[in-house]
Amino acid sequence: MGRLQGKRAVVTGAASGIGRASAVLFAKEGAKVVCVDRVAEALEGTLAAIRQAGGTAVAQAADAGDEAAVKAYVERCVAEFGGIDVVYANAGVSGGGTPLLEQTVAYWNEILRINLIGPFLAIRHAAPLMVKQGGGSIVMTASVAGLRANAGMSAYASSKAGVISLAQTAANALYGTGVRVNAVCPGLIETGMTKPIFDGARARGSEGKIGQLNPMRRAGRPEEIAAMALFLASDDASYVNGQAYAVDGGLSSTHPFAGGALKLS
């Protein structure tokens, strides 16, 4: 029996990186999975990997920060699989490297809409169904950048700090319902979002320095974040609620920083 045997799950941002690794792992562990990303065609690789592993999954195109789209992916899970037991609200954007004093309100609005309002909407639309079923698990992707400064740009870090708070506040808002809400805080992981960092290092010949600030002295793999998401989604974490777990090679044990002061253009 897999750790998610018989569970019905949604994974957002499932076309690549942490989302793809998690969707594939959830399916391997017995879940039927609704794979969500902005463009359904981008999910073909994820679906192929799941089917090759003998799992069951469907694709759903959705903007993770749009309420109608979130409602639709929750409804799709219920329609396809008869209910919803797990949501992994993983989709997010970095916002790039725009300096703080050059950031606009529109820039902040978009990052918060996807990174923070998106997980809130997942809770808003999935939790009532889970309450009726007697329980469920909602997992969200935060970041070590949400724990303290210097692991991400201001808007991104603030959005992820909000996700950590949302895990805490939502867990308590759902007091006594059996619905658990937790967050994962990845460190530096090679994904589509972080690709420019890795490509730049390789171009400079400094690939060996990637991840040097953490005690493991390396970057992480999407599968290593997926493993934590699986634990939180599963009944193995039945007494884990309102928590944010760093999976970062030890970076957040000290959060060292190599860089300069605020740069003004």
Distance in angstroms (rounded) separating the CA atoms of residues 163 and 117: 9
Spatial neighbors of 93 by CB under 8 A, at least 6 apart, are 110, 111, 114, 115, 156, 193
Distance in angstroms (rounded) separating the CA atoms of residues 132 and 217: 45
Joined tokens for residue 33: 């999975």
Among 156, 175, 239, 245, the active-site one is: 156
Spatial neighbors of 218 by CB under 8 A, at least 6 apart, are 210, 211, 249
Contact between 83 and 54 under an 8 Å Cβ cutoff? The reply is: no
In the numeric block, the tokens 């059996």 are attached to 178
Active site residue 156: yes
Catalytic residues, which ones? 156
